[in-house]
Amino acid sequence: MYSQGLRDSKAGDDSPELLEAFQKRIDNEEKIEPRDWMPQAYRQTLIRQISQHAHSEIVGQLPEANWVSRAPTLKRKLILLAKIQDEAGHGLYLYSAAETLGESRHKMFEDLLSGKAKYSSIFNYPTLNWADVGAVGWLVDGAAIMNQVALCRTSYGPYSRSMVKICKEESFHQRQGYDIMIKMAQGTAQQKAMAQDAINRLWWPALMMFGPSDKDSKHSGQSMKWKIKRFSNDDLRDKFINATVPQAEYLGLTIPDKDLKYNEKSKTYEHGEIDWNEFVNVIKGNGECNQQRMDARNRAYDDGKWVRATAAAYAKKQQKNEKVA
């Protein structure tokens, strides 16, 4: 279906004239569509980012799934189930968006399962108490939205359109997380301590979701030139901090950053040093839950083998019937 666009941008086709015309389209805020000519590197950057994003949505179901059977009320359980199903849907929109660039879903799965493709570092941290489910919604979905609202204006049409729907659902996720935090923070002393414990453990990993600092981000320069990314990693991180600190104050919880301070002049918060060694260690596969997450995804893939085989056999039979008719 998308063969025309793929044929137009084989490696080696990226002549200066084509590149210049492409950049002009980007600068004019035109959306790039699947059949349009695009530089190989633009295509590859999108496949990398969109598939990483899709994997994050899928792996991101796991820390929350840990609490489905132990949610404190039936209502909380239903809400949590709905949220986890939304994440599965987000993964599917994103895999579909990446497929429009010529990458097969099978290849993307293989890359995730072999450990070649990344997914967001945040999902390699455990969810140890019920307040963590609140903190994941509030902080993790909150950080995700900050990034994704900007991605609604990304230059690649299918990615940008999938982001619009995803953001609507993510904002419900953020609100449900904050709602849990309000309940816990205004509950007993023990519940408040659980809420504080959750923010103590998840605050810094949430800041790491935005990626390395601008000086160390290897892809940001080109991605911003192509308007795949509309803001730098540090700019989005700062926006998130500025939006979230007042929410923590409302909850009566402390942000675990002794160097956090409000700059009266710029009217923004300045944060302490992020432990980038921890970030690198986690994305290399050595975080607390990396192995557990990969084992769970590999198990799910193996368990689904018969479903894929049945679907493929059915499709083949349909094709055969169509040929006969």
Q: How far apart are CA 260 and CA 285, in angstroms?
A: 29
CB 224 within 8 A of CB 234: no
CB 262 within 8 A of CB 202: no
Q: How far apart are CA 107 and CA 87, in angstroms?
A: 21
- Residue with smaller CB distance to ligand BYC, 197 or 235: 235
x/- site string to ligand BYC, residues 70 to 109, per CB under 6 A? -----------------x----------------------
Q: How far apart are CA 197 and CA 192, in angstroms?
A: 9
Q: Which stretch binds ligand BYC (CB under 6 A): 27-35, 137-145, 244-252, 308-316?
A: 137-145
User: Does residue 165 bind ligand BYC (CB under 6 A)?
Assistant: no
Q: Is 285 left (phi over 0), alpha (psi -120 to 50) or beta?
A: left
Member of 118, 161, 183, 192 binding ligand BYC (CB under 6 A): 118
Please, what is the minimum distance in Å from the beta carbon of residue 223 to ligand BYC? Answer: 5
User: Does residue 232 bind ligand BYC (CB under 6 A)?
Assistant: no
Outline where 100-232 has alpha helix (H): 105-113, 130-135, 142-151, 157-185, 189-208, 220-225
Member of 5, 34, 134, 212 binding ligand BYC (CB under 6 A): 212
User: Does residue 160 bind ligand BYC (CB under 6 A)?
Assistant: no
User: Does residue 140 bind ligand BYC (CB under 6 A)?
Assistant: yes
User: Does residue 48 bind ligand BYC (CB under 6 A)?
Assistant: yes
| Sole residue written with tokens 């490696």 | 11
Q: Is 252 left (phi over 0), alpha (psi -120 to 50) or beta?
A: left
Member of 9, 51, 162, 223 binding ligand BYC (CB under 6 A): 223
User: Does residue 124 bind ligand BYC (CB under 6 A)?
Assistant: no
- Residue with smaller CB distance to ligand BYC, 132 or 141: 141
CB 115 within 8 A of CB 295: no
User: Does residue 49 bind ligand BYC (CB under 6 A)?
Assistant: yes
Please, what is the minimum distance in Å from the beta carbon of residue 128 to ligand BYC? Answer: 17
By CB under 6 A, the residues from 51 to 70 that bind ligand BYC are 52-53, 56-57, 60
CB atoms within 10 A of CB 173: 25
Q: How far apart are CA 165 and CA 152, in angstroms?
A: 9
Contacts with ligand BYC by CB under 6 A lie at 48-49, 52-53, 56-57, 60, 87, 118, 120-121, 140-141, 144, 147, 208-212, 217-220, 223, 229, 233, 283
